[in-house]
Amino acid sequence: MTAKHDTIRAVSWEEAGLRLLDQRLLPRQEHYLVLNDSAAVAEAIRSMVVRGAPAIGVAAAYGAVLAARERYAALPADWRTGFEADLGFLQQARPTAVNLAWAVARMKACAAGVTGDPVPVLLAEARAIHDEDIRANLLMGERGAAFISPGNAVLTHCNTGSLATGGYGTALGVIRSAWAAGKLSGVFADETRPWLQGARLTAWELVRDNIPVTLLVDGAAAHLMQQGKVQWVIVGSDRIAANGDVANKIGTYSAAVLARHHGVKFMVVAPASTVDMAISTGASIPIEAREPQEVLELGGQPVAAPGASAWNPAFDITPAALVDVIVTERGVVEQPDAEKMRAMMDRQ
């Protein structure tokens, strides 16, 4: 299932297990891992072999299949006990992305009704999750692109494309759709420190799919907007609270503040599984704290003065008041608030 300017699939299933493009090695090396147990999938999620909230959810679903296959082969009569423990490890791999918990819960519910060998049933469910994500991304791409006027240029932060999803992408899916429709005059991508997802991943994706991209350091975004060179900032999300507050890669909040000051529109694109109606505001979203070495080093080489410490939150919270539109496969919410978010999530 592909569309124009859409050739990359970083997550896929094959008979031997889950096949993942190791995103830590891009763009220098395109290397795939084949994982055949759920513990390896959990570690791949934790260590960012696979990243991006929707892709993490898809990978976790396939990880549940591997857990069931391993447990059923070892102890067919009592496979559920170890299986549920494995699901717990998968869910704990990264705390902020709600898609992970959502996918694990869906696979657990599917397993509850299984009799006999659970693998065929769970594999069908994992494939359904994967296919649903791609279809949702294609729909969101169309809906988001409808807001973009011909001749607009866009800025994106982090990576929200095929590498971060089951395929096509969320925010990058909108960019793909708008580019295919001939609407965009340019695409700008923040580096996205400290993991450089924009430089390593977004730029790689867009170049691979023949969409011209201009890279800038995160701190240059304000000057770019001041020069009037972009009309939209388009980002994804790892979790959206019930009131429309958005958790996304660190630096997203900065981009939203800058956009509002300069009259640039701000769009968030994410599947409905990213919306956590159990969390009233962004203040309750857990923010993952990652190792200081990610800031103090680059590629394993020290870049900071010896003895310096580092603060390394992986995400920040953008208040709903700074968001012009949230795009999901269930619908679009402009100027989001709790009432509008509830109405959107109630749609079937």
- Residue 43 CA to residue 6 CA, distance in Å, equals 28
Token pair 């900071």: residue: 304
pLDDT at 113 over 90: no
Eight-class DSSP state of 256: H
The string of pLDDT tens digits covering residues 68-88 is 999 999 999 999 989 999 999
Which of 20 and 99 is assigned the larger pLDDT?
Answer: 20
Per the DSSP assignment, residues forming a β-bridge with 190 are: 216
This prediction's pTM: 0.91
Q: At a CB cut-off of 8 Å and minimum separation 6, what does 272 contact? A: 136, 328, 329, 330, 344, 345
316 tagged catalytic: no
Which of 95 and 54 is assigned the larger pLDDT?
Answer: 54
pLDDT at 251: 98
DSSP 3-state of 147: coil
pLDDT at 1: 43
Eight-class DSSP state of 304: S
Q: Is 257 in contact with 316 (CB distance < 8 Å)?
A: no
Token pair 């918990």: residue: 101
Average pLDDT over residues 276-281: 96
pLDDT grade for 240, boundaries at 50, 70 and 90: very high
219 token code pair: 């701190």
Is-cis flag, bond preceding 319, omega within 30?
no
pLDDT at 2 over 60: no
pLDDT at 348: 65
SS (H, E, C) 68-105: HHHHHHHCHHHHHHHHHHHHHHHHCCCCCCHHHHHHHH
DSSP characters for 269-281? E--GGGEETT--S
pLDDT grade for 96, boundaries at 50, 70 and 90: confident
Catalytic pick from 238, 245, 316, 324?
A: 238
pLDDT at 48: 92
pLDDT grade for 317, boundaries at 50, 70 and 90: very high
Annotate 173-185 with b (16+ C-beta within 10 A) or e (fewer).
bbbbbbbbeebbe
pLDDT grade for 217, boundaries at 50, 70 and 90: very high
Average pLDDT over residues 135-158: 97
Burial class of residue 211, CB neighbours in 10 A (0-12, 13-18, 19+) = middle
What average pLDDT does the structure give for the chain?
95
**pLDDT above 90: percentage of residues in the chain:** 93
The β-bridge relationship of strands 297-298 and 232-235 is unpaired
Type and span of the H or E element at 228: none
pLDDT at 97 over 80: no
The three-point CA angle 138-144-149 to 5° equals: 130
Cα dist. 109→41, 121, 145, 204 in Å?
20, 12, 35, 37
Domains of the chain with CATH codes: 11-136 (1.20.120.420), 139-345 (3.40.50.10470)
pLDDT at 116 over 80: yes
- Residue 318 CA to residue 257 CA, distance in Å, equals 9
pLDDT at 47: 94
The string of pLDDT tens digits covering residues 29-65 is 999 999 999 999 999 999 999 998 899 999 999 999 9
pLDDT at 5: 79
